[in-house]
Structure 1
Amino acid sequence: MIVHTVGELLRHWRQRRGVSQLDLAIAADVSARHVSLVETGRSRPSAEMILRLAEQLHVPLRDRNRLLLAGGFAPRYAERPLDDTALAAARDAVRRVLRAHEPYPALVFDRRWNIVMTNRAVEPFLAQVAPELLRPPVNLVRLGLDPRGFASMVVNLADVRAVFRSRIGRQLAVAPDPELTALYEELLGSDPRDAPGPRVESDVLIPMILRVGGRELRLFSTITTFGTPMDITLDEVAIESYYPADAESAAFFGTREPGASR
């Protein structure tokens, strides 16, 4: 087992971000020489200095704890389950967002794309999924790409795979994770289904097109995250909210055409 020093880990994150020692020093309001001494192990940084450098490097909270441990300090950020009493206010906020988005689907997933919460509008879609895919933890990527899940309903599956590939690729570039890497390689590696095909024409965005009950639903989504989390769980969860992209899809949910005046 290789044990890295705090300086080695900081250098790793700096290089991953493509930042020079001088640029990091300026952003953190320290000297470039001090950054160099920390990275080479000739200066032992305080916990505050570790966190200051980590903040400028946009290091995730989970990895900031690892930096602190490598520097000989106790972890600073707790990782509580979402149903913990300490997260009651945040959990209530998430539930409010999910409920307010009805009758459109919305769900919450963690850093490995496991679904944590959903609103009631998701339930009719899950009813068409094979039971084995609904055993916890239910993974959104697997659910979306498995033929027993949503893949059989997705008209533009190549587009959806490309979106998953792009989003998870960016996520891994920011914070490597072995389990997420394995999921990426299993479901998003080279696949014959990725051969070029007809693209969905759109001037704004590429929707996900689902064929449900003989109708085609066109949906696009937005992502919501917590702005200033101090808990690892809150730092890693995201809310994905789906919206109808045309009048026919809005009618399916019993609502007006998106953007239509009242």
Structure 2
Amino acid sequence: MEDQVLHQTDTAPRDATPQDSVEQISPSVGHPGATTFPTLLQNLRNARGWSKADLAKRAAFDPSTITRLEQGSRAPERETVTQLADAMALPMTDRDRLLAASGYRSDTWDDPDLIEIATLLADPSLPPAVRREIRTMLRVAASHGKLHRMYPHQTPADT
């Protein structure tokens, strides 16, 4: 897939399969195979032990709305997806997966640093060797962040 810069109102291309759009976001443990919005929504709701009525009440929707969303007979608006994610207090990874499964991208991509990196990597004049170096540095930075998440009370000076 080509590198490209997306904006808040952009959606995943309609010719992309749901699996394509979900794979761009780190999958969350516990929901294997949940790639379509209806399936993912139902799995996330069931993981909490909630009925459709429970989710509807917490998200301020009519229970029939949840039924239609889980049956796939109604395509969700972005605001609907974020309202559902908020009601379930989803961690960012699950929130992003739910957005991607419904054809929307994460708010994460509005970060100016990420936009700058994406723009740089999408620049066709950038030599491939430089592109590889940047990607290597990004992997190192991501690993550093993951370690900090695992050991939040240690600062770099502590190690």
Checking the alignment, whether the CA contact within 8 Å between 2:34 and 2:40 is kept in structure 1 is no
Residue number among 63, 71, 87 corresponding to 2:102 in the alignment: 71
Q: Is residue 2:68 matched to residue 1:37?
A: yes
Checking the alignment, whether the CA contact within 8 Å between 2:52 and 2:63 is kept in structure 1 is yes
Counterpart-to-counterpart distance in 2, 1:12 and 1:3: 7
Following superposition, the deviation at residue 114 of structure 1 comes to 5.6
Trace 1:25-64 onto structure 2 (pairs within 5 A).
25-64=56-95
Structure possessing the higher relative contact order (Cα contacts under 8 Å, 6 or more residues apart): 2
Q: Is residue 2:148 matched to residue 1:109?
A: yes
Counterpart-to-counterpart distance in 1, 2:93 and 2:62: 27
Instruction: Tell me the secondary structure at the aligned position of residue 107 of structure 2.
Output: coil
Following superposition, the deviation at residue 47 of structure 1 comes to 0.8
**TM-score of the superposed pair, with normalisation by structure 2:** 0.51
Q: Deviations over 1:38-81 (max 9, x none)?
A: 0110111111101111111121112211111111112222497x
For structure 2, the 5+ residue unaligned runs are 1-18, 20-32, 115-146
Which one-letter code corresponds to 1:74 in the other structure? R
Residue number among 15, 22, 44 corresponding to 2:53 in the alignment: 22
Structure holding more strand per residue? 1
Following superposition, the deviation at residue 109 of structure 1 comes to 2.6
Counterpart-to-counterpart distance in 1, 2:154 and 2:103: 36
Checking the alignment, whether the CA contact within 8 Å between 1:61 and 1:77 is kept in structure 2 is no
**TM-score of the superposed pair, with normalisation by structure 1:** 0.32
Which one-letter code corresponds to 2:84 in the other structure? L
Following superposition, the deviation at residue 116 of structure 1 comes to 8.9
The runs of 4+ residues in structure 1 deviating greater than 6 Å are: none
Trace 1:171-190 onto structure 2 (pairs within 5 A).
none
Trace 1:1-262 onto structure 2 (pairs within 5 A).
2=33, 4-78=35-109, 109-110=148-149, 113=150, 117-118=154-155, 120=157, 122=158
Identity %: 28
Counterpart-to-counterpart distance in 2, 1:61 and 1:43: 24
Counterpart-to-counterpart distance in 1, 2:110 and 2:63: 33
Query: For residues 32 and 3 of structure 1, do their structure 2 counterparts lie closer, same or farther at Cα, with a shift above 3 Å needed?
Result: closer
